[in-house]
Amino acid sequence: LQSLLGGAFPLDVAAAHRAVARLAVALGAGLEETAAAIIAIAEANMARACKRVSMARGIDPRGLTLVAFGGAGGLHACGLAEALGCPEVLFPCEPGVLSAEGILDAPREVAATRTVLLAEADWTPAALTAPFAALRAELSARLPTGTRWQWLADCRYVGQTHALALSLEAPPAPSELRAAFDAQHARRYGYALPADRPVEWVALRAFLRADRAPPGTTPSDAAAETRVGPTVVSVYSATLFVPAGWRAERLPTGDWRCRPEDATRRAQAPKRLALALEVHRQRLAAIAEEMGATLMRAAFSANIKERRDFSCAVFDAEGRMLVHAAHIPVHLGSTPLSVEAAIATVPMRPGVQVVLNDPFAGGTHLPDVTLVTPVFLPGEARPRFYVANRAHHADVGGIAPGSLPSPRDAEGHVRALTIDDEGLRLPPTVLDDALRARFAAASRLPAERAGDLRAQEAANRLGVERLVALVGAGGRDEVARLDAALLDYAERRMRAALAALPDGIFTFEDALDDDGVGDAAIRLPVMVRIEGDQAEVDFSAAPDAVAGPMNAVRAIVVSAVFYCFRCLAGASIPANAGLMRPISIRTRAGSVVDARPPAAVSAGNVETSQRLVDVIFGALAQAAPDRVPAASAGTMNNVLFGGLDPRFDPPRPFVHYETLAGGAGGGPAGAGASAVQLHMTNTLNTPVEALERDFPVRIETYAIREAPPVTPGVHAGGAGVIRRYRFLAPAEVSLITERRRLAPFGLNGAPAGARGVDRL
């Protein structure tokens, strides 16, 4: 191929050969092999993005036709279709000007949406017909020549935010609408809720189109033609590459339809290990991200569906983490420990799911519920993979709404806390109907807990399906080879990063304000030893566990170390178990950073974890001063409230938990960002609209806090936020915050940051 765009765009083939040859020599690979691998990596990245966007919108791309437009779309369309599971590709006759041609040739269409918000109890025939009649009258008046109608009804279970679209031909009967939604939900998420869980009709969307001859060339202009790959179709505005194993058929309109000769064909990774590794990593990451999108869309609580307080990961047969989606950093090191505990405790067989939230079995705090599912391949007796997700449930019982109780009760009395005060505690346990009922009953919001747990099951179910398909396409031995190599690669990258640091012992100490029971600060000293390509992080000098909830389990320390050293090594290093092989961690059993039962640990996950990051970075700043920022806000600013919502008759219980943003510390390269979730948390803001819709509360102020004047020559930290709540009904409110007494430290002579303020 010497040119693109039908000859209008000549290629400098020699220059391309020279560029690829440099990489091929470095990899010890052939020229064409390296070029093919570059394309495969690019297409794996594109496929990952397509899956992330489409699944977040509730659309499964499998089974859909992939349309290639733009000048370069046809070059990658068939490869993307294989990666996405699309059965065919449509290459329009002039894809480079498809948008412009669409403006000229598209038939006239009008569309309208009507918000319905109709609960199932109000689904009378008249109520279901009225939106159809109103939209039919509106659109018919706007387009009298219209003849083709399309109707989409957006529905969801009451409590969900993300709806599913149902294609309808006419106003349905109430039973038909319910049955159609249950069937769609079961197809998408693997389950439907029982009849006592009502459905809500959210909106009706109508589309009316006028008849028009399809665009494209006339049949006489486009002679029938079939080409078998590998081949190239070049037109004025684009180029289509048809790979081996594909067949392209020219349609009477001038468009090309491409289909694989084997309908089960899937994208293949390069054979050479160095070239195949990144493609494999992208595919695993896409699976974890698809799991997260499913969990978010199927969930009921604002914590999961709005704030996205969850994480998803894939593990190998030994329980070693292969990939962790870019979700919550505090779960990076702790979720693998939960998987290890599940494997050690529960005999694995097909269909088993293991649920746990025990902080002393790899968990973090009780609201973080982990679901572990083994992945069996056909004919194999032991799991080949595990998938796991961890989600923060808004309430799992305990003495206070939100299951993160304060040592100070409503009357102002202060008392010591234990793990039993914080809610239901589950060691690794097989999930069955009895446990589902027990878990839901422990909460102040049993229906919401049941719905969120079902959403976690849906996420793991998708992960299992995708991994089985991945092995089916790549081969069992090849996938196992790539899994092992991926762990080894992360280890090599981390060892190289450590070897680039100066050897030595680096110490640092900071403190937590107090434990909520007494007023004494809680020291957190750390020693980091760098020796060659290894590191040791030693927290054994930390004090004993405290009476309040600021204790952290060892899993939190593992997460903090994992996060800090991955930041040091660079974002491109894979987040898997291999990264931690050169790093050892020392803690002292019974200390505030290695708490043992019955210590309360609810705030250790959210607050102590942040201070662990501060002190590790403080030590690493001595070894790598050009890469480590000053302390950030140092708190997740946890707000919890609950009570009875008088907007319903009878009043309904409500519970909400959220974290608030803060300012990032200034770094060697520049100032810190304002109003961001920091370090061990990566959740989103709870939208004000969602808060005020779901709870009897009004947000009167939400603003970025005014920053103090910046000292010349100093890279200032970012500003935090101001959030003012007005409760419209009696509520029990808990705050778990830090950096109210001890300010975040500066580095390299810069001043400390501002402290936070709580006002009632």
Which of the pair, 317 or 222, is modelled with greater confidence? 317
Residue with tokens 């494999």: 280
- CA distance linking residue 291 with residue 339, whole number of Å: 17
The predicted structure's pLDDT at residue 218: 45
pLDDT, tens digit (0-9, with 9 covering 90-100), for 459-508: 999 999 999 999 998 899 999 999 999 999 999 999 999 999 999 999 99
What confidence tier does 265 reach under pLDDT thresholds 50, 70, 90?
A: low
From residue 340, how far is each of 321, 374, 725, 760 by CA, in Å? 10, 12, 41, 43
Q: Average pLDDT in the 308-330 region?
A: 94
The predicted structure's pLDDT at residue 712: 81
Q: Average pLDDT in the 315-336 region?
A: 92
Averaged pLDDT score across all residues of the chain: 92
The predicted structure's pLDDT at residue 221: 58
Q: Is the pLDDT of residue 217 over 60?
A: no
The predicted structure's pLDDT at residue 10: 82
The predicted structure's pLDDT at residue 473: 86
- CA distance linking residue 49 with residue 281, whole number of Å: 14
Average the pLDDT over each of 33-37, 429-433, 720-724, 732-736 and give the range with the smallest value. 33-37
Q: Is the pLDDT of residue 1 over 80?
A: no
What confidence tier does 219 reach under pLDDT thresholds 50, 70, 90?
A: very low
Three-class DSSP labels, 661-678: CECCCCECCECCCCCECC
Residue 563 near residue 580, CB atoms below 8 Å: no
- CA distance linking residue 311 with residue 390, whole number of Å: 5
Q: Average pLDDT in the 365-378 region?
A: 97
pLDDT, tens digit (0-9, with 9 covering 90-100), for 220-259: 456 788 999 899 998 878 889 999 999 999 998 888 999 9
pLDDT, tens digit (0-9, with 9 covering 90-100), for 381-401: 999 999 999 999 999 999 999
Q: Which tokens hold the place of 709?
A: 């004047």
- CA distance linking residue 424 with residue 392, whole number of Å: 13
The predicted structure's pLDDT at residue 114: 96
The predicted structure's pLDDT at residue 461: 98
What is residue 605's DSSP assignment?
I
> In 3D, which of 362, 333, 259 has the Cα closest to residue 576?
333
Q: How many CA atoms lie within 13 A of 707 on its CB side?
A: 23
Residue 694 near residue 641, CB atoms below 8 Å: no
Q: Average pLDDT in the 172-183 region?
A: 96
Name the most confidently modeled range: 6-15, 86-95, 152-161, 703-712.
152-161
What confidence tier does 269 reach under pLDDT thresholds 50, 70, 90?
A: low
pLDDT, tens digit (0-9, with 9 covering 90-100), for 598-642: 999 999 999 999 999 999 999 999 999 999 999 999 999 999 999
The predicted structure's pLDDT at residue 642: 96
User: Looking at the DSSP assignment, which residues form a beta bridge with residue 259?
Assistant: 247
What confidence tier does 190 reach under pLDDT thresholds 50, 70, 90?
A: very high
> In 3D, which of 72, 74, 436 has the Cα closest to residue 246?
74
What confidence tier does 267 reach under pLDDT thresholds 50, 70, 90?
A: low
Domains and CATH numbers, the chain: 3-103+223-260 (no CATH), 107-210 (3.30.1490), 273-488 (no CATH)
Q: Is the pLDDT of residue 123 over 60?
A: yes
Q: Which tokens hold the place of 252?
A: 């009477």
